[in-house]
Amino acid sequence: MQAKGPEKRSGPNREVRALPKVLVSGRGGSGKSTLVSLMSRSLSKRGPVLVVDADESNLGLPSMLGVDPPTRSVMDWLGGKGAVREKLFAALRGVGRESPCFFESPVTLISLPRDCLSSYGNIYLVRIGKIEHSMEGCACPMGALARGFLKSLLVDSSEWVLVDTEAGIEHFGRGILEGVDTVLLVVDPSREAVILAEKAARLCREADKPFLVVANRVDTGSEPILQNMLLSAGLRTAASFPYSPDIAQSNLEGSHLGELGEEETLRELISKMEAVATR
């Protein structure tokens, strides 16, 4: 389904704010895409939400959101991976200019080509680009484009942007933090997730980006252990989502998550995100 397109909000006084673009990060399988979907549903009751799929590999986000994949990615829009790679290499060859300019003017939800968006009510999905062919090369062009896209993206005062990422922390290395305001570090009950969150938190501090830690898929046995491990790493959780058999089943069946999240916990998390964003 191609997006109908958000309504134009009027006039020269269209209020623009830099906040909040939220990056969702964590290890593979921790629940990033699930939380992006649940949060987008909750936030969409208040205004438009642009979900940016910056994971070049995984394909499950559209079904979790209840939309078809957009017809074109941002990469397609800009002429494909070859064209994006050329711009990236040209910038790397240039003296003292390592950030390619992919967009001549600021990008907004309204200005995005309709076939780059899918929508469900107030939720809009845009994809940066996926690996499509064997031997096509690395995902560096997608990483550079994700950073450029997010840096160029202007957000209306009623809008939120949620960025779903690939597993791990390569996106930090690629500089994606330059294009976002806040980071959610998703931690599932595993040692690796805690170690990764500790490192990601350090990278956020280094880049002077506020972050919140979210525990996901916990139960009564694992939650206190996880909380203690996080505390020992100097991290406190902003929210904790329990293991939900309904979420697991919905994912298996490929049906959209709808209202399956803990609404109260989602609302509290969103309030904390707002507090961070307006600090």
Residues found near ligand ADP in the complex (CB under 6 A) = 26, 28-34, 60, 167, 216-217, 241, 243-244, 247-248, 251
Q: Say if CB 110 and CB 5 are below 8 A apart.
A: yes
Tokens of 252: 């298996």
Q: Is 11 exposed, middle or buried (0-12, 13-18, 19+ CB in 10 A)?
A: exposed
The answer to whether 91 and 97 have CB atoms below 8 angstroms apart is yes
Residue 117 CB, nearest distance to ligand ADP (Å)?
21
- CB nearer ligand ADP, residue 26 or residue 179: 26
- Closest distance of CB 40 from ligand ADP, Å: 13
d(CA 85, CA 145) in angstroms, rounded, equals 9
Measured CA to CA, the distance from residue 50 to residue 202 in angstroms comes to 27
Residue of this chain nearest to ligand ADP (CB atom): 251
Picked from ligand ADP, Mg ion, none, the partner binding residue 30 (CB below 5 to 8 A depending on kind) is ligand ADP
> What residue 185 binds from Mg ion, ligand ADP, none (CB within 5 to 8 A, per partner kind)?
none
Piece of the chain touching Mg ion by CB under 5 A; list 17-25, 54-62, 72-80, 204-212 = 54-62
Q: Which of 25, 30, 33, 237 binds Mg ion (CB under 5 A)?
A: 33
Q: Beta partners for 120?
A: 123
Which of Mg ion, ligand ADP, none binds 125 (CB below 5-8 Å, type-dependent)?
A: none
Nearest to ligand ADP of 255, 271 (CB atom): 255
Query: Of ligand ADP, Mg ion, none, which one sits near residue 31, judging by CB under 5 to 8 A according to partner kind?
Result: ligand ADP
From the list Mg ion, ligand ADP, none, which binds 26 (C-beta under 5 to 8 Å, kind-based)?
ligand ADP
Q: Which is nearer to ligand ADP, 32 or 81 (CB)?
A: 32
Determine which residue in the list 2, 58, 190, 265 makes contact with Mg ion, applying CB under 5 A.
Answer: 58
Q: How big is the CA angle at 221 (ends 186 and 238), to the nearest 5 degrees?
A: 30
What are the beta bridge partners of residue 182?
Answer: 22
Q: Is residue 99 within the footprint of Mg ion (CB under 5 A)?
A: no
Closest separation between CB of residue 178 and ligand ADP, Å? 22
Instruction: Provide the CB-side half-sphere exposure for 91 (13 A, CA).
Output: 15
**Angstrom distances, CA of residue 277 to CA of 211, 232, 263, 267, 272:** 10, 26, 21, 15, 9
Phi, psi for 264 (deg, rounded to 5): -65, -45
